[in-house]
Amino acid sequence: MVGDRKRGAGAGVIATATAVAAGAAGVRWVWRHQDELMMRPPLNEWTFSHMSLLLPTETVPRAGRPSVLPRAPRPLDFTYEWDGSARTLSDLHTRTRTTGFAVVHRGRLVHEVYPGRFAGPHRRFQLFSLTKSVTSMLLGIALEEGAIGSTDDKVVTYCPELAGSAFDGPTVEDLLQMSSGAGGEEDYEDPDAPVNRLMRAVAGQGGTVLETVRSVRPHSTPGTWFNYSTLDTQVLGWVLEAATGRTLARYAAERLWGPVGAESDAYYALSRRAPRTAVGGGSFNATVRDMARVGLLMARGGRWGGEQIVPRRWVERSRGAGLPHLEGGALGERYPAHYGYSNQWWTLGGEHRAFTGLGIYGQHLWVDPEADVVVVKTSAWPVADDPALDGETVTAISALVAHLSADG
């Protein structure tokens, strides 16, 4: 009996040790793959509205006196054609996993809805690459103030730590137009793509962000070929910080968030590993309403409350660069033909020359100055990039703008 008890105890110890080892292995696996898990359904809907619980952050404080965003609710009874059927706005939300949605027409909030399980008017959403358009606005302000001398300045003038890298040569202008000639394809399915190595560095899983940026190689002559790259905007964020002597969060608070009267704090997510840095191309988190204010600012030519916040010429160049390789349909087969690109914004051409900030997993800030319409859409797509979901969203918002224009 004593031997049986010893054997039983030994087996228990072994079983416990095995369970602990298996648990530890599981924890290690989760740690190594956390960036992937956070982006997949059903977790991503929670992740995209709780980034402050997952990464260090720097706050962009709300305005001392929030501006009034007048409300004039109205039904949006329109349909759009997609996949051989007439669809409604409700269909769009279901089919494209909308979490937050707002429409501003003629300066008034006419529609606001939050289909997401964790969503609401005061929830800050991860905007991913829509951050790039915010970075562009801040750069335009810094240029107007003289903090940045010219878009023709070399990047290394402001970031000498990039000397000898693929970013030693390109200008600020090259990066604004995603034409730096540095880095590889922005392929979210390729673990070794620069954007995924950048994400791992931010998560503290593979070197520093600077090491990742310095590791990429040149692939073409700067200014000649469009290659969408989050690393380009990461460097632009560093240029802005070096030129102004402020972090992105502080400069955004002083020059953008305060002036438009934002009603809620926003924040930038930061890299876990020191030196901590904001991801200027993909870490801004804000409410739908405050992003509607940002869109309205751009729709009004950069003016707010009688003050010119973003230079008018900067807003105008964000609607189209006038460069052949950046026109709609000319970006290359990897990009939807309905998009062109300019100044860290996606352009839509046509008579209205509307433009939109975009983020992976379905984030949109649609600005149509001619129709005086702004649309904000946050989403939790099952994958980072889906041409069908993007195409349906563009079709639906275009139909929404036409509906509002027709109704007056």
Sequence ranges of the domains in the chain: 2-32, 43-179+224-407
Nearest-angstrom CA–CA distance, 240 and 248: 7
Superfamily classification of domain 43-179+224-407: DD-peptidase/beta-lactamase superfamily (3.40.710.10)
Nearest-angstrom CA–CA distance, 94 and 89: 9
Phi first, then psi: what are they for 23, rounded to 5°?
-65, -45
**Averaged pLDDT, 254-268:** 98
Band the pLDDT of 23: cuts 50, 70, 90.
Answer: very low
Instruction: State residue 385's pLDDT score.
Output: 96
Q: Which of 102, 115, 2 is nearest to 49 (CA)?
A: 115
Characterise 183 by phi-psi region: left (phi > 0), alpha (psi -120 to 50), beta (else).
left
CB atoms under 10 Å from CB of 145, counted, come to 12
Phi first, then psi: what are they for 367, rounded to 5°?
-125, 120
**30, pLDDT greater than 70:** no
Identify the weakest region by mean pLDDT among 35-49, 52-66, 232-246, 378-392: 35-49
**Whole-number average pLDDT of the chain:** 92
Q: Which positions ≥6 away from 64 have C-beta within 8 Å?
A: 258
Q: Looking at per-residue confidence, does 17 or 1 come out higher?
A: 1
Q: Which of 349, 346, 334, 337 is nearest to 385 (CA)?
A: 334
Q: How far apart are the first and last CA of the chain?
A: 91
Whether omega for the bond prior to residue 61 falls within 30 degrees of 0, making it cis, is no
Instruction: State residue 206's pLDDT score.
Output: 80
CB atoms under 10 Å from CB of 87, counted, come to 19
CB atoms under 10 Å from CB of 34, counted, come to 15
DSSP 339: -
**26, pLDDT greater than 90:** no
Residue 221 tokens, joined: 């002559």
Band the pLDDT of 34: cuts 50, 70, 90.
Answer: low
Q: Please tell me whether the overall predicted TM-score, pTM, comes out greater than 0.85 for this model.
A: yes
